[in-house]
Amino acid sequence: MRKNMWELPHWMHWLGGVLVAHGYTDITVLDLYTEPNAFSRPGYLAMDVVEAAVREHPADVYLFSPMTVNLCYAYEISDAVKRAHPGAVVVYGGVVATPLGHEVAGHPSVDYVVVDRGEQALPALLDALEGGRDMADVGNLVHQRPDGTTTRTAHRYPHLLPAEIPFPKVDLFPSSTGEDIRYLRQVYALGCPYQCTFCTIQTIGRRPDYFPLDRVLDEIRAYRARYGHRHNIYWGDETFTLHPERTLELLELLEKEGDINYDCQTRLNCLTDDRILRKLKSSGCQWVEIGLETGFQESHETHKHHMKLSATRETLKKLRDAGLAACSFTVNGFPDQSLDDMRRSIEWVCRLLDEDLLQATYLFGLVPYPGSAMFEHPERFGMKLLHRDFRLYHEDLPPVFATDKATPDQVYDVFLEGLGLFAQAMDKPPYFGSAPAPGTADEYGTFWADAHV
C-alpha cells in the first residue's frame, strides 16, 4: 500500500493519545501495511519479512485491531510476535474482536481481548500488567483461564464522553506519510441511533455523543500541519447530518475557517433541512455519500431502519441544486430479494446516474459481518451462513451465505453485471464542470499519481 493509502489508521492515533495521557509514551508502529514485500503472493504473508520486522521492533505489548477479513493475518503476525518475543503480551480489540471476544481470546497467540471501546480498559489493562495485579479488576476484558477456557471480567466501563477522550497522538507516523494518502479522516460524534441489520456500529454505541467543536477543529489543524494542508477531510460519522442544529454549528465554524474542503456521509432521511444543504456547500463540502443500499422499500423496512425511498429524487435534486456532488452506497444481495429484484435495484441506481441525480456510486456485496444482526441471527432474515472463513467475508467476493431465493454464485453474477452497468452509467463528464486535469505529486501527493479501486 505504499503511496496508495486512502487514509491513516485513525484508531491508532486515538489510542496513542489515550496511552500518552496515561503515561505510556514509548510507542512505535510496526508498519507492515506499506511494506511492499509483506505478501509473497495474494492472500499469503511473507513470513520471513514479517518475522524480520517483528524482531526489529521488540516491545512489551503489541496491540492489534484487525478488520474481519484481516483477522487471519493478524493471527499470523501474533504468532510471529510470540516466536520472536515469548514474553510479550498480545492484546486485540476493535470491530471484529468485540463480537468474537471469546473466540479471539482462545487463539494461542492472543493474551487479552479488549471488547467494546478501549479508552478506559486499555490503560487499566496496562496498569494491571505493570503492577502484577489481578485481571479480574479490569473491565471490558476477555482472556483465557489456566484450563484453556475463556472468561469475561464482570466490570463494564461506561463510555467516556467525547470531551473526556484525550487528544490523539497525531505524530504517530512520519510527516512524509501525508504524501501517500487520499484524505484525512475526522469525526465530530460517536454513535448512531439507527439499527441496520448489516451494521456493526455497536462497537461504538447507539447514542450519538458529540466532541467539543473547538477540539474538532484543533484536531483538523494538527493533522493538516503534520501531513499536509492540501488534504480533504473525510468525515467518518456515518450520519454526519443527523442532528441539524449541531451540524449547523459545526458548518458555521468550518465556513469561518475558510480553507477546509471535505466529504461526508449520511442518510437520505437526514438531508431534509434546507439550511443544512445550503451551509454544506458554503462550508467546503465537495462530496456527499448517501446510503441508498437498494431500490426496494420492502428491504429498507427490514434492513435499513427508518428509510423511505419516496423522497429520493426530490432530495437528490435539492443536493444537486445546492451545488453538491452526490454518491450512493449500493448493496447487492439482500436475502429477501430475488435475482430480478437485485437487477431492478441496480437499474434504479443507473437511472439516478443517467438523470444526473447521482454523480457516482459504489457497489458492495452484502456481508453479514460478526457483530451484525445478520451474523448473530441469520435465520431471522432467511439466510444460512455457509462458513466462518473470515478471509472470504469481503464486499468484492461471492456471498458467504445462501437463501431460498438465490445461490451465492447467482448473486455474485448479478454483482459483476452491476459493476459493468455502473461503469457505463458513470462513463461521462461529472455534472459539475469537466473532470479535473491530473495534478502533480507536488500539488496533491503521490497517492494521486495512479488510478485506485
Give yes or no for a contact between 378 and 384, defined as CB atoms under 8 angstroms apart. yes
**Does a structural domain hold residue 5?**
no
**Does a structural domain hold residue 1?**
no
For 288-336, how does the pLDDT look when each residue is reduced to its tens digit (9 = 90+)?
999 999 999 999 999 987 788 999 999 999 999 999 999 999 999 999 9
207 vs 404 pLDDT, higher one = 404
How many residues in total does the chain contain? Answer: 453
* CATH number, residue 383: 3.20.20.70
Report the distance separating Cα 14 and Cα 25, nearest Å.
14
Looking at the DSSP bridge assignments, the partners of residue 90 are: 62
For 324-348, how does the pLDDT look when each residue is reduced to its tens digit (9 = 90+)?
999 999 999 999 999 999 999 999 9
Nearest residue to 182 via CA among 9, 8, 6? 6
Q: What is the pLDDT of residue 440?
A: 53
Give yes or no for a contact between 335 and 405, defined as CB atoms under 8 angstroms apart. yes
**Does a structural domain hold residue 165?**
no
Q: In terms of domains, do 101 and 199 share one?
A: no
**Does a structural domain hold residue 61?**
yes
Q: In terms of domains, do 143 and 213 share one?
A: no
Output the average pLDDT for the chain: 92
> In the predicted model, is pLDDT for residue 441 greater than 70?
no
Q: In terms of domains, do 316 and 369 share one?
A: yes
> In the predicted model, is pLDDT for residue 437 greater than 70?
no
For 14-61, how does the pLDDT look when each residue is reduced to its tens digit (9 = 90+)?
999 999 999 999 999 998 887 889 999 988 999 999 999 999 999 999
Q: In terms of domains, do 208 and 148 share one?
A: no
Q: What is the pLDDT of residue 137?
A: 94
> In the predicted model, is pLDDT for residue 2 greater than 80?
no
For 48-88, how does the pLDDT look when each residue is reduced to its tens digit (9 = 90+)?
999 999 999 999 999 999 999 999 999 999 999 999 999 99
* CATH number, residue 56: 3.40.50
**Does a structural domain hold residue 169?**
no
**Last residue of some domain: 100, 121, 152?**
152
For 353-371, how does the pLDDT look when each residue is reduced to its tens digit (9 = 90+)?
999 999 999 999 999 999 9
Q: What is the pLDDT of residue 288?
A: 96
Q: In terms of domains, do 212 and 327 share one?
A: yes
DSSP conformation letters of 300-347: HHHHSTT--GGGHHHHHHHHHHTT-EEEEEEEE--TT--HHHHHHHHH
Q: What is the pLDDT of residue 212?
A: 97
Report the distance separating Cα 191 and Cα 239, nearest Å.
9
Q: What is the pLDDT of residue 453?
A: 46
pLDDT > 70: percent of the chain? 94
Q: In terms of domains, do 131 and 185 share one?
A: no
Nearest residue to 250 via CA among 333, 262, 238? 262
**Does a structural domain hold residue 426?**
yes
For 372-385, how does the pLDDT look when each residue is reduced to its tens digit (9 = 90+)?
999 999 999 999 99
**Does a structural domain hold residue 95?**
yes
Instruction: Give residue 245's pLDDT band: very low, low, confident or very high (50, 70, 90).
Output: very high
Looking at the DSSP bridge assignments, the partners of residue 152 are: 142
Q: In terms of domains, do 182 and 68 share one?
A: no
Q: In terms of domains, do 361 and 224 share one?
A: yes
233: three-class secondary structure by DSSP: strand
Q: In terms of domains, do 136 and 209 share one?
A: no
Average pLDDT over residues 238-243: 93
Q: What is the pLDDT of residue 400?
A: 98
Average pLDDT over residues 121-149: 95
> In the predicted model, is pLDDT for residue 412 greater than 90?
yes
Average pLDDT over residues 228-235: 91
Q: In terms of domains, do 274 and 345 share one?
A: yes
> In the predicted model, is pLDDT for residue 193 greater than 90?
no
Residue range of the domain that includes 17: 10-152
**Does a structural domain hold residue 432?**
yes
Query: Which residue blocks in 355-407 are alpha helix, DSSP H?
Result: 373-376
Q: In terms of domains, do 74 and 179 share one?
A: no
Q: What is the pLDDT of residue 201?
A: 73
> In the predicted model, is pLDDT for residue 452 greater than 80?
no
Q: What is the pLDDT of residue 195?
A: 85
Total number of domains in the chain: 2
Instruction: Give residue 448's pLDDT band: very low, low, confident or very high (50, 70, 90).
Output: low
Report the distance separating Cα 177 and Cα 221, nearest Å.
16
The neighbour count for residue 51, using CB atoms within 10 Å, is 17
For 98-131, how does the pLDDT look when each residue is reduced to its tens digit (9 = 90+)?
999 999 999 999 999 999 999 999 999 999 999 9
Q: What is the pLDDT of residue 242?
A: 93
> In the predicted model, is pLDDT for residue 386 greater than 60?
yes
Report the distance separating Cα 305 and Cα 335, nearest Å.
16
Q: In terms of domains, do 223 and 286 share one?
A: yes
Report the distance separating Cα 314 and Cα 317, nearest Å.
5
